[in-house]
A and B are shown apart, each in its own frame.
Chain A
Amino acid sequence: MEMEGGSTSGSVGEGAQVTRQFSPARSRAFYRFTQQNLPACKPVLTPGCVITIFLLMGIVLTPVGLVCLRASESVVEIVNRYDIECIPVPYRSNKVAYIRDSSISKNCTLKIKVENRMKAPIYIYYELDNYYQNHRRYVKSRSDKQLRHGLEYKDTSSCKPEEKSNGLPIVPCGLIAWSLFNDSYSFIHDTVEMKVNRKNISWKSDREHKFGKNVYPFNFQNGTLIGGGKLNPKVPLSEQEDLIVWMRAAALPKFRKLYGVIEENLEANEVIEVRVANNYNTYSFGGKKKLVLTTSNWLGGKNNFLGIAYMATGSLCIVISILFALIHVKNPRPHGDPTYLSWNRKSNAS
């Protein structure tokens, strides 16, 4: 915020005029520059101006907050945690063993009730918690050059520890790709499978410039230890949008990633069935998995924080301005009264 108000009088002609011979205009400006006498505005915090500033801030911030809050409230969001629900009761005591056991079917079905009408497009996210995609070891373990140029680019040392397997380079290499999220969801509404658009869920720049059009997965998930999902070796990386989304590292341990978009409206009180392939292991580190269905508007998704914070700050400003005004009216201090000067008081007291 810039302090406005106060005096804006330029301190022009503060002292003696030019003593040396100066040619007009430019040198005059230069002269004033060297004499530190340029025209200037000097904001001074007078009580009136302080009160006005706070009041103005309050008046601006509060309505903005209201608008944000309304926008956020208008978003319909359904969050469904399924990582426990999807484990059959007998296995619940040892979830890690269950998820590691490839012989057991991982399918499970969730029922989601739509409380309010959701207008298309409805965005499907998976939300992970306690998953440190921002860990330095994890973030560094990728090769942008390989993603762009594929096997042409040989130096994959930055991808350690997932740079090679069986003596051959891995495409895409690195921990991030290796740990690709591989739960999948299908949505059934009135026994009809809903169309989920899985295209165009990643940033365009990633598809076009970061992931090569001629780079195909190679030797991926062929090692002794298999991390996450597998990739179709026939499809170039630039079209593997799941991977592209996953490769944009999240900022914090709790994050959402876009899975797909449902292109039809959901009416209130409808129930949809979600078939989940619960493949991804979050059990060994105590992570949570959630499925999120949400609409979106101009402000993005549902988050009341900004609106509330705006309003809180706005009202705080108004309160402060009223407080200052009250104190000032009750106990006005004349301008520049020297008896108020800090050491005049001190020296009088001593």
Chain B
Amino acid sequence: MNLDGETNLKRKQSLQITSSLTNDQSFQKFKALIKCEDPNDKLYSFIGTMYFNGVQYPLSPQQILLRDSKLRNTQYVYGIVIFTGHDTKVMQNAMDPPSKRSNVERRMDKIIYLLFTILVVIASIGSIFFGIKTKGEMSEGNYMWYLRPDKSSIFFDPRRAGLAAFCHFLTSLMLYGCLIPISLYISIEIVKVLQSTFINQDQKMYCEESDKPARARTSNLNEELGQVHTILSDKTGTLTCNSMEFVKCSIGGVAYGSGSTEAEKSYRKDKEINYFELKPLSSGFNGYERLVKGFNFYDDRLMNGQWVKEPHSETVQMFFRVLAICHTAIPVVESKSVSYEAESPDEAAFVTTARELGFEFFQRTQMSISLHEFDLKIGRKVIRTYKLLNILEFSSARKRMSVIVRTEEDELLLFCKGADGVIFEKLSKDGQVFEAETKCHINEYSEAGLRTLAVAYRKLTEEEYRIWNEEFLAAKSSVNADHDMIVDEAAEKIEKDLILLGATGVEDRLQKGVPECINKLAEAGIKIWILTGDKLETAVNIGFACHLLRKEMKNIVIKLDTPEISVLKDGDKEAIKMAINERIANQIREAQSQVSSSKGSSVSFALIIDGNSLAYALSSGLENSFLDLAVDCASVICCRISPKQKALVTRLVKRRTRKTTLAIGDGANDVGMLQEADIGVGISGVEGMQAVMSSDFAIAQFRFLERLLLVHGHWCYRRIAAMICYFFYKNLAFGFTLFWFEAHALFSAQPAYNDWYISFYNVAFTSLPVMALGVFDKDVSSAICLKFPSLHQDGIRNIFFSWPRILGWMLNGIITATIIYYFTTNAILDQAFRSDGRVAGSELLGATMYTCVVWAVNCQLALYLSYFTWIQHLLIWGSIFFWYIFLVIYGFFPPTISTTAYRVFLEACVSSPLYWLSSLFIVVAALLPYFSYLTFQTMFFPKYHHSIQRAKTGDS
């Protein structure tokens, strides 16, 4: 069942009382009543009771199969449907997927408004002038008799000039409709889909191990990738593999295991530059090849049965017995080898380790666990079966689990493993022999970034067990709301007077390439926050391991369990709250002064805060100062944080910084965060698909984020921004030629061009090249993007889509239009157009001007492009060529269809040197202002990407 993000097995059991119902017939007379809670969204709790034969049986999550569950290791089940449809817990958890739009698109909307304003303004100006002129048609000395003003329709009636002006306004809205680029939306959609295809196809974001390529699940956030300012990352499964590896252990006060961890390597890397000497570490150690998943433990004293020779071999034996028995894993026997399916990867690592060291767990029944193990007395491997009496399950409150077994020797044993703090409290006097050493080792391990658990056991007497068991069974079958607590209390009664055996160190391995990736992202100026549910120490360890925290950074830690607060615990709740709030505020203020005092120096800060403090820091009074502080710090780690808080933090960061946030995570607990962030990236790794389903992009490993942001993000952002700017440019360039012409035609809304020219402008002659820009343009190659991560700053600062740039492009469009109109009219009008004395009428002016517009906007695009493949060449020059083709074909239509375009090209233009010379000149002149500006800027005030481009040419 992959609903909660985990694909690990969940053990589900029927009630003992119903387990005898194994065939269809047995249900014929089955009659029971189930009372249960109302539908809710809590996946991990279920309260219900079954009344059967007058007896109440409590129902727990153990008996509940959630919707979408998959059966494993059993053929079929009989069941009762409790909730259906929207009442199921799964559906109750579903949120409406948020609709996300990118910054660029939101700004584009504003530009559309701006364009619409321009349209209305132009139309109104035209209408006002038209009204005045029309009124003047009848006046003395300006009586335009050839227009028959005395006999005109309402559209031109000088006696009702106001009405005529209004009608003209509507006409102009149609005429200048091309200013509003409707095709822009369509083009952008197409371009984005193609961009997404490129992301999906990228071989360098393809994970071979899991056979998963990157996937852009939404296409409308591509350009947002290039503007990411803050990354909020989950830890487990995102930065780390979530496959635990058993690295070290301490048994009876002796430390075993000599593998080294990522965090240690990272330390070493910081200290020594000649780190490469230590290289063999990663590939293997002491000649043992690392072949077993979850097992990275090397110590000659224990391996290959050598543990027998250790001085306290019985402790060692007991230690591994605990690992092999105290768990809920299920063995999967395939021919000779045994593998395990466990609820948590830690457990799998333990059982695997026990197997590797000679305690092979191979069979589990309802009542027993069987091991192959080495018998000290007989001196060879034997099969031993332990009768499983009780399992006291792990819960986050208890932080430990125990099993009670009866050995073949009829001994009653309780095996327990759990968090070190909890176990140490429950040791008997005799059991504390190794406590000091073990504690010391545990500290070492957790410093090295390992997850630690303490292992202990105790022997029970028959009497003691019998009494407790009755109590425990009673507690288990109680039906009130405190059921869990009662069971926990009962369990606690037997988990005492433990004898400490040792401790384990399990490494949560970092994913491949994570430190390098984080380094690059940090160089790109992206802030990275880690939001994790882990302990503060673990989170800090991982922070160091993945280079998020560095030795030279100053760490600011904000947490609650400082002494003053623990003193306050006795007061009433309100007072405590106030005091805590005050305390957090102080800590934040101190930190802020610390940060501001060292501004300008090269010291960077890291903020580490735990979940409880965060709850206060995010309360309304403090959130602003907290976020200001957080924004000033280079990296932020929030630990012990709940999924809801993750979403909350994301929302606040998004609101406060007003910059693009990206959340990345892999589990169901990250869903809120992914949906809240501007971009949600799901890791489609070992965990389930829940995060991926609610994400906008899915990648197989964290390290691909680097390429996704720095390469694809950069490209997509630049492309889309340029494309939109260019679109406005080309439409204004076209629209304003219409305006200038209309201005010279008494503002009578007479178009300069044939109607079909106007209709085809956005469709045929200018649409494809702009798509080439949007899909294929590359200012720099991917290698350069990765080599100079600071190129990403372009996106964060939004320099390609800033208002000056947008307005600049619009201005460029207007300049182009003005140049084209005035130069064309001056060059070809009045005098003979050709050597045979024919003059150019409006049809020739239209064709010539249109030729210039098509050339100018397409060449403008060519000027802008920095990457020419045959596709660009084909589309740009093809579009221009197509204009001529169109003109020829259209000219062959009968004159009633083609009207002014009839044979205009073949008859008049082709043979006129004036036509060719003036279109050549006008295109050059129309592009010259932009080109001069561009060259001036690249030569004397280059932007970063210009320099990079040039640097690259210098190299090659």
Chain A contacts to B: CB under 8 angstroms: 1-3, 6-7, 9, 11, 14-16, 18-20, 34-36, 38-47, 50, 53-54, 57, 61, 64, 68, 75, 77, 96, 121, 123, 125, 127, 131-139, 144-145, 148, 160-162, 175, 178-179, 201, 203-205, 209-210, 227-228, 248-258, 261, 281, 284-286, 294, 296-303, 305-306, 309-310, 313, 316-317, 320, 324, 327-328, 333, 335-338, 340-343
Contact of B866 among A14, A44, A162, A258 (CB under 8 A): A44
Within the complex, the shortest CB–CB distance from A35 to chain B, in Å, comes to 6
Query: In the complex the two chains form, is A328's CB within 8 Å of B939's CB?
Result: yes
Query: In the complex the two chains form, is A335's CB within 8 Å of B859's CB?
Result: no
Indicate whether B307 reaches chain A with its CB closer than 8 angstroms: no
Indicate whether B478 reaches chain A with its CB closer than 8 angstroms: no
Indicate whether B203 reaches chain A with its CB closer than 8 angstroms: yes
The interface residues of chain B lying within 8 Å CB-to-CB of A127 are: 830
Within the complex, the shortest CB–CB distance from A215 to chain B, in Å, comes to 13
Query: In the complex the two chains form, is B781's CB within 8 Å of A41's CB?
Result: no
Which of B343-351, B416-424, B618-626, B912-920 is the interface stretch?
B912-920
Query: Which has the most chain A C-beta neighbours within 10 Å: B745, B823, B840, B955?
Result: B745
Given contacts A45-B935, A309-B921, contact A138 B146 (CB under 8 A): yes
Query: In the complex the two chains form, is B147's CB within 8 Å of A137's CB?
Result: yes
Query: In the complex the two chains form, is A281's CB within 8 Å of B145's CB?
Result: yes
Query: In the complex the two chains form, is A203's CB within 8 Å of B842's CB?
Result: no
13 extra A-B contacts, CB within 8 A, seeds A15-B782, A19-B208:
A2-B859, A14-B782, A36-B198, A133-B842, A205-B895, A205-B903, A209-B902, A284-B142, A297-B835, A302-B831, A316-B928, A327-B939, A336-B955
Given contacts A144-B895, A258-B839, contact A40 B868 (CB under 8 A): yes
The interface residues of chain A lying within 8 Å CB-to-CB of B14 are: none
The digit string for B241-258, where 1 denotes a CB below 8 A from any CB of A, is 000000000000000000
Contact of B869 among A39, A136, A145, A305 (CB under 8 A): A39
Cβ < 8 Å to A, chain B residues 741-794: 741, 744-746, 748-750, 776, 778, 781-783, 790, 793
Query: In the complex the two chains form, is B832's CB within 8 Å of A38's CB?
Result: no
Which of B2-10, B117-125, B946-954 is the interface stretch?
B946-954
12 A-B pairs with CB atoms under 8 Å apart are: A2-B863, A16-B204, A35-B201, A35-B202, A36-B198, A36-B778, A68-B917, A135-B746, A227-B145, A250-B841, A309-B827, A313-B921
What's the A-B contact tally at a CB cutoff of 8 Å? Answer: 291
- Cα–Cα distance between A80 and B611 once the two chains are bound (Å): 93
Within the complex, the shortest CB–CB distance from A13 to chain B, in Å, comes to 11
Given contacts A134-B745, A297-B835, contact A336 B950 (CB under 8 A): yes
Query: In the complex the two chains form, is B954's CB within 8 Å of A251's CB?
Result: no
- Cα–Cα distance between A227 and B869 once the two chains are bound (Å): 61
- Cα–Cα distance between A216 and B840 once the two chains are bound (Å): 27
Given contacts A286-B141, A298-B913, A313-B925, contact A303 B830 (CB under 8 A): yes
The interface residues of chain B lying within 8 Å CB-to-CB of A254 are: 829-830
Which of B47-55, B150-158, B720-728 is the interface stretch?
B150-158
Indicate whether B318 reaches chain A with its CB closer than 8 angstroms: no
Query: In the complex the two chains form, is B840's CB within 8 Å of A251's CB?
Result: yes
Within the complex, the shortest CB–CB distance from A337 to chain B, in Å, comes to 8
Indicate whether B871 reaches chain A with its CB closer than 8 angstroms: yes
- Cα–Cα distance between A15 and B786 once the two chains are bound (Å): 12
Closest to B750 in A: A136
- Cα–Cα distance between A299 and B917 once the two chains are bound (Å): 9
Indicate whether B287 reaches chain A with its CB closer than 8 angstroms: no
Indicate whether B838 reaches chain A with its CB closer than 8 angstroms: yes
Given contacts A46-B950, A300-B833, A309-B827, contact A132 B932 (CB under 8 A): no
The digit string for B845-878, where 1 denotes a CB below 8 A from any CB of A, is 1100000000000010011001111110000000
The digit string for B795-838, where 1 denotes a CB below 8 A from any CB of A, is 00000000000000000000000000001011101111111111
Contact of A144 among B868, B896, B954 (CB under 8 A): B896
Given contacts A11-B781, A306-B921, A335-B951, contact A134 B147 (CB under 8 A): no
- Cα–Cα distance between A205 and B898 once the two chains are bound (Å): 12
The interface residues of chain A lying within 8 Å CB-to-CB of B924 are: 1, 57, 61, 313
Closest to B715 in A: A36
- Cα–Cα distance between A34 and B204 once the two chains are bound (Å): 12
- Cα–Cα distance between A139 and B948 once the two chains are bound (Å): 55
The interface residues of chain B lying within 8 Å CB-to-CB of A205 are: 895, 902-903, 907
Query: In the complex the two chains form, is B866's CB within 8 Å of A123's CB?
Result: no
Closest to A336 in B: B951
**B: interface residue count bin:** 35 or more
The interface residues of chain B lying within 8 Å CB-to-CB of A178 are: 146
Indicate whether B931 reaches chain A with its CB closer than 8 angstroms: yes
Within the complex, the shortest CB–CB distance from B792 to chain A, in Å, comes to 12
- Cα–Cα distance between A301 and B827 once the two chains are bound (Å): 11
Query: In the complex the two chains form, is B921's CB within 8 Å of A284's CB?
Result: no
The interface residues of chain B lying within 8 Å CB-to-CB of A338 are: 947
Given contacts A251-B840, A335-B951, contact A50 B902 (CB under 8 A): no
Given contacts A45-B934, A305-B826, A336-B954, contact A131 B838 (CB under 8 A): no
Query: In the complex the two chains form, is B827's CB within 8 Å of A305's CB?
Result: yes
Closest to B907 in A: A205
Closest to A179 in B: B146
The interface residues of chain A lying within 8 Å CB-to-CB of B832 are: 123, 294, 296, 300-301
- Cα–Cα distance between A335 and B947 once the two chains are bound (Å): 7
Query: In the complex the two chains form, is B953's CB within 8 Å of A64's CB?
Result: no
Contact of A335 among B741, B863, B954 (CB under 8 A): B954
Closest to B941 in A: A342
Within the complex, the shortest CB–CB distance from A28 to chain B, in Å, comes to 13
- Cα–Cα distance between A270 and B890 once the two chains are bound (Å): 48
Query: Which has the most chain A C-beta neighbours within 10 Å: B151, B917, B925?
Result: B917
Query: In the complex the two chains form, is B947's CB within 8 Å of A340's CB?
Result: yes
Query: Which has the most chain B C-beta neighbours within 10 Å: A131, A300, A342?
Result: A300
Query: In the complex the two chains form, is B147's CB within 8 Å of A175's CB?
Result: yes
Within the complex, the shortest CB–CB distance from B604 to chain A, in Å, comes to 14
Within the complex, the shortest CB–CB distance from A85 to chain B, in Å, comes to 19
Indicate whether B899 reaches chain A with its CB closer than 8 angstroms: yes
Within the complex, the shortest CB–CB distance from A256 to chain B, in Å, comes to 5
The interface residues of chain B lying within 8 Å CB-to-CB of A327 are: 939-940
- Cα–Cα distance between A341 and B917 once the two chains are bound (Å): 42
- Cα–Cα distance between A94 and B201 once the two chains are bound (Å): 82
Within the complex, the shortest CB–CB distance from A43 to chain B, in Å, comes to 7
Within the complex, the shortest CB–CB distance from A286 to chain B, in Å, comes to 6
- Cα–Cα distance between A137 and B839 once the two chains are bound (Å): 23
- Cα–Cα distance between A301 and B168 once the two chains are bound (Å): 37
The interface residues of chain A lying within 8 Å CB-to-CB of B142 are: 284-286
- Cα–Cα distance between A110 and B834 once the two chains are bound (Å): 28
The interface residues of chain B lying within 8 Å CB-to-CB of A328 are: 939
Query: In the complex the two chains form, is A284's CB within 8 Å of B141's CB?
Result: yes
Query: Which has the most chain B C-beta neighbours within 10 Å: A132, A178, A294?
Result: A132
Indicate whether B927 reaches chain A with its CB closer than 8 angstroms: yes
- Cα–Cα distance between A75 and B914 once the two chains are bound (Å): 14
Indicate whether B938 reaches chain A with its CB closer than 8 angstroms: yes
Indicate whether B944 reaches chain A with its CB closer than 8 angstroms: yes
Given contacts A19-B206, A306-B914, contact A137 B944 (CB under 8 A): no
